[in-house]
């Protein structure tokens, strides 16, 4: 039997009620909205990995401690280069910022390649979005309770992707 590689990423996943509120933030704009149940905040994208690497990723994650906090989502933004409408925090809590740095460092030390660009906490609300006329603007504040984090897999499905949580860990 051939073992399958999977596209994986570490993420924070909002509860369904908050996902509905986030989805509503993007509703007034034109683009391809992300399904509510797929809204997430990526902590680290790893791309295609083998089953053995997934085991290693779970071991790495088990050795880290994400601090509980409330992440204030208070900005809407638009990236014209890839036509993404997103929501995110104006400021990342210090504990979460430190955790992301530790996660990235541990992943690189284990030989995983991460994007070279700096981490920018965001939740993609729409793809193929039409220019809303701003780069970043203030949004009604929503609080994402950071109580757990997960390793998820992405599988292409139609015009988008379907996500499946492989493993999750509680925040400390």
Set 5, 23, 104, 122: catalytic member:
122
Q: Which two tokens stand for residue 136?
A: 């970043």
Is 122 designated active site?
yes
Set 5, 23, 40, 81: catalytic member:
40
Dihedral sign of CA atoms 18, 93, 38, 120 in order: positive
Q: Which residues of 58-87 are buried (b: 16+ CB within 10 A; e: fewer)?
A: eebbeeeebeebebbbbbbbbeeeeebbbb
Give 170's strand partners: 148
Q: Please answer whether residues 60 and 110 qualify as being in contact, where contact means their C-beta atoms are separated by less than 8 angstroms.
A: yes
* Active site amino acids: 40, 122
């Amino acid at each position: 039997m051939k073992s399958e590689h999977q596209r994986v990423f570490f993420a924070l996943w909002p509860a369904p009620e908050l996902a509905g509120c986030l989805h509503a933030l993007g509703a007034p704009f034109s683009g391809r909205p992300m399904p509510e149940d797929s809204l997430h905040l990526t902590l680290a994208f790893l791309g295609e990995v083998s089953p053995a690497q997934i085991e290693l990723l779970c071991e790495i994650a088990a050795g880290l401690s994400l601090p509980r906090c409330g992440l204030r989502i208070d900005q809407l933004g638009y990236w014209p280069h890839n036509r993404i409408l997103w929501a995110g925090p104006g400021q990342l809590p210090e504990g979460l910022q430190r955790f992301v740095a530790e996660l990235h460092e541990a992943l690189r030390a284990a030989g995983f390649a991460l994007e070279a660009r700096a981490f920018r906490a965001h939740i993609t609300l729409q793809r193929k979005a039409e220019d809303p006329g701003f780069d970043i603007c203030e949004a009604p504040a929503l609080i994402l309770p950071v109580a757990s984090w997960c390793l998820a897999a992405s599988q292409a499905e139609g015009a988008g992707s379907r996500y499946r949580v492989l493993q999750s860990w509680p925040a400390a």
